[in-house]
Amino acid sequence: MTPEHRATSGGDQFVDLPDLRSLGAHQAVILVADDDALIRNLVTLLLQHDGYFILSAADGHEGLELSRKYPGSIDLVITDVKMPRLNGTDLCAHLLEERPGIRVLIMSGADMSEIVSRNINMPFLPKPFDGEILKARVRAILGAPPQPAIRS
């Protein structure tokens, strides 16, 4: 079994993903959702290298489905803001409601003021970013208290 699992395998069939903690693993589980394969793969590789278990999704819809199929807890979601089918903001709203205590890191190439103006009160990482900054942010977020659910 590889440390990265996609929401679908080939067609529309979902893969069975074990709950790592039930297997005795103690590493954090991170869901990465980004429609840019280069960014998604970079984040995945950087965080796998640091020992995290990564669930990888090509957009928000796939990320939400993957979260719903994964039986264990997910500690952190790292997502792009602008994605097809389901944007990162809506993905986070669903995940915070369905998985209380999940932590969030929003990534975007958009101007920070645009993100703030949309009232996204979550940790933000501007693109492009340095790998060491990403890893430091992840460590800091995982050590912080969980975020409250977004109220509509």
d(CA 27, CA 122): 23
Percent of the chain with pLDDT strictly greater than 90: 58
Q: Which of 34-43, 50-59, 80-89 has the lowest mean pLDDT?
A: 80-89
Q: Identify whether the C-beta of residue 78 lies closer than 8 Å to the C-beta of residue 56.
A: no
Q: What is d(CA 85, CA 82) in angstroms, rounded to the nearest whole number?
A: 10
Superfamily of domain 4-142 in the CATH hierarchy: Response regulator (3.40.50.2300)
pLDDT tens digits along 75-112: 999 999 889 899 998 999 999 999 999 999 999 887 66
What DSSP element (H or E) covers 108?
strand 103-108
- Summarised one tens digit per residue, pLDDT across range 120-131 is 578 889 889 999
Task: State the number of CA atoms in the 13 A half-sphere of 62 facing the CB.
Answer: 24
pLDDT at 53 over 80: yes
Q: Which two tokens stand for residue 130?
A: 């340095």
Q: Within 13 Å of residue 67, how many CA atoms lie on the same side as its CB?
A: 28
